[in-house]
Amino acid sequence: MPNLSTRDNDRYRIGHMISFCEKIVAIAKESEDPWPEVTLLALLRLFETLGEAASKVSDETKKAHPEIPWVEATDTRNRFIHGYDDLDYSAILLTIEEDIPQLLQQLLNLRKELEAS
């Protein structure tokens, strides 16, 4: 088996996903309603990188943790990035309020597990 660089391991990716989730929540909380364009662009970039990191987590980890919505994270990234011309503000807000906190907790639990092994 090849020696994986730090960038290629799941703990590295999970750490980034946690950071992206925390930033999404913080930016959304701190911003006025409706969001200024720069805030929306920052949030969309964070969703893009969150989904990208999720897509690069190993299949082994994904299979071991089916409770984490890996595919949904990637699909949300694709919808927000490729559907830029038809974005629904309420869908983004709903995703931030309902999905991101749960995903964040799942990722924190996974990181603890990975660090213990």
Q: Which residue in 32, 44, 33, 25 sits closest to 103, CA to CA?
A: 25
Q: What is the pLDDT of residues 75-105, one digit of tens each?
A: 999 998 888 788 888 889 999 999 999 999 9
Tens digits of residue pLDDT in 40-55: 999 999 999 999 999 9
Name the band, by pLDDT with cuts 50, 70 and 90, for residue 34.
confident
% of the chain surpassing 70 pLDDT: 93
CB 59 within 8 A of CB 43: no
Written as one letter, the residue type at 104 is L
Distance CA 61, CA 10 (A): 8
Residues in the chain: 117
pTM of the entire predicted model: 0.90
Cis before residue 34, ω within 30 degrees of 0? yes
pLDDT confidence tier of residue 33, bands split at 50, 70 and 90: confident
Q: What is the model's pLDDT at position 1? A: 46
